[in-house]
Amino acid sequence: MFQAPRGTQDILPEDAAYWLFVERTARDWAARYGYGEIRTPTFEETGLFLRGVGDSTDIVEKEMYTFQDKGGGELTLRPEGTAPIVRAYIEHGMASRPQPVRLFSFVNCFRYDRPQRGRYREFHQWDCEAIGEIDPLVDAELIILLWRVYQALGLRDLTLQLNSIGDARCRPAYLERLREYYRPLVATVCPDCRRRYETNPLRLLDCKNAACQAAIAGAPRLLDYLCAECAEHFAALRAYLADADLPVEINPRLVRGLDYYTKTVFEVWPAEAGAQSALGGGGRYDGLVEQLGGRPTPAIGFATGIERIILNLKAQSIEPPLLPGPRVYVAHLGDRPRREAMRLADALRQQGVPTLVAVGGRSMRAQLRHANALGAPWVVVIGEDELARGVVQVKNMRGGESVELAPQAAVERLAAGG
């Protein structure tokens, strides 16, 4: 027997209501903030992610689904949504549009990771990117948008973790200072951190290993080393977020480890917390457009995991709006009544009424049981006798009463709500 590949999942109709709820809410709010939808391909040239995610990251080193196609092209299933959107921004000359260009996308992403609760090898994200503006107002709006979506979904007890990681002007001096601090501690930290000490010292700060926590607690804070421009940017952002009543927690250990990330970084954590279970997060990447071959262009974005959101909706017992089930079930006995049932169902559907027609050779009793099991509140019964008299029976499954009506009158009445 075949099974869905490890780390993937089927979304069944009973779960689709959650997905639609999240997607509709996100779309609704994205439109309110002026974000337009972009859809990019599921796979890209591998080089895009080597440059756009960073070749010293776990994603690129261990997790990418990379393959050669039959023409010899080196391709990768997207492991994240930002690099493809930035690629599209450059490729389509969006720098000549009014800036910033605000884009959102629902993307499926692929990472060869150890599957666990809420973590899949194919997972889904809602991505928003604002490209072409450095004003902290844009940072604030983007973060508030994400927050308002969580709020509109009904999620409670979230916190916003916020930090600034400086830029090319102020970060090098800090990294120097951080290395100095870690030099006598290198022997005490985990093997990953020993490697980070050499390749990517900023990532030392977000190690989850227990052995490394003491070292992290005493480490110098980047916030104390920001240059005047970064400090002003961060102060303005905090003021906007305070005005919007977001419960901000400054978290000096929140980092993104690549050079093109600058200034703002943030994550939203659920109550039970831990960066491992972040609902969403993002940051400013003022160096990425240039890194991917465009002109120097400031930008900021976030991604939030749809599976994570749904996990939290369920944990908080938040029910999505019900999707409409069948309103009318058309039961019939005999060949001619069956054709009349098809005709009537078609008329009902054209009036917008979700309608099912009995299939197979079931008895009338079995058809009514079937209608009941499907939860249809109305049943239309058509037999030879009804056909001969030019009527159908319209039966209310909740109240149990039946009325006889001409077919056209039945359609009108059911279309009007019954």
The stretch near Zn ion (CB under 5 A) out of 50-58, 140-148, 162-170, 249-257 is 162-170
The stretch near Zn ion (CB under 5 A) out of 157-165, 212-220, 363-371, 375-383 is 212-220
Query: How far is it, in rounded angstroms, from Cα 138 to Cα 291?
Result: 21
Q: Which run of H or E residues covers position 264?
A: strand 262-269
Pick from 90, 186, 190, 223: which binds Zn ion (CB under 5 A)?
A: 190
Kindly state the tokens that stand for 278. 């972040």
Residue 170 engages Zn ion in binding (rule: CB under 5 A) = yes
Residue 170 or 347: the one with the smaller Cβ distance to Zn ion is: 170
Residue 209 engages Zn ion in binding (rule: CB under 5 A) = yes
Q: How far is the CB of 117 from Zn ion (least distance, A)?
A: 23
The stretch near Zn ion (CB under 5 A) out of 89-97, 100-108, 193-201, 408-416 is 193-201
Q: How far is the CB of 201 from Zn ion (least distance, A)?
A: 12
Let me know: does 103 contact 132? Beta carbons within 8 Å.
Answer: no
Q: Give the contact letters, 233-272, x = binds to Zn ion (CB under 5 A), - = no.
A: ----------------------------------------
Pick from 207, 299, 331, 357: which binds Zn ion (CB under 5 A)?
A: 207
Residue 169 engages Zn ion in binding (rule: CB under 5 A) = yes
Residue 207 or 368: the one with the smaller Cβ distance to Zn ion is: 207
- Least Cα distance to 97 among 46, 145, 38, 57 occurs for 38
Beta bridge partners of 160: 248, 268
Residue 88 or 299: the one with the smaller Cβ distance to Zn ion is: 299
Beta bridge partners of 248: 160
- Least Cα distance to 64 among 83, 54, 77 occurs for 77
Pick from 30, 193, 246, 310: which binds Zn ion (CB under 5 A)?
A: 193
Residue 227 engages Zn ion in binding (rule: CB under 5 A) = yes
Q: Which long-range contacts (CB under 8 A, 24 or more apart) does 116-124 make?
A: 117/311, 118/277, 118/305, 118/307, 118/308, 118/311, 119/307, 120/7, 120/8, 120/9, 120/307, 121/5, 121/6, 121/7, 121/8, 122/7, 122/8, 122/9, 123/305, 123/306, 123/307, 124/305, 124/306, 124/307
Pick from 84, 136, 166, 301: which binds Zn ion (CB under 5 A)?
A: 166
Q: How far is the CB of 188 from Zn ion (least distance, A)?
A: 10
Residue 120 or 174: the one with the smaller Cβ distance to Zn ion is: 174
Number of residues forming the site for Zn ion (CB under 5 A) = 12
CA 81 to chain centre: 10
Let me know: does 303 contact 106? Beta carbons within 8 Å.
Answer: no
Query: How far is it, in rounded angstroms, from Cα 406 to Cα 411?
Result: 9
Contact footprint for Zn ion (CB under 5 A): 166-167, 169-170, 189-190, 193, 207, 209, 212, 227, 230
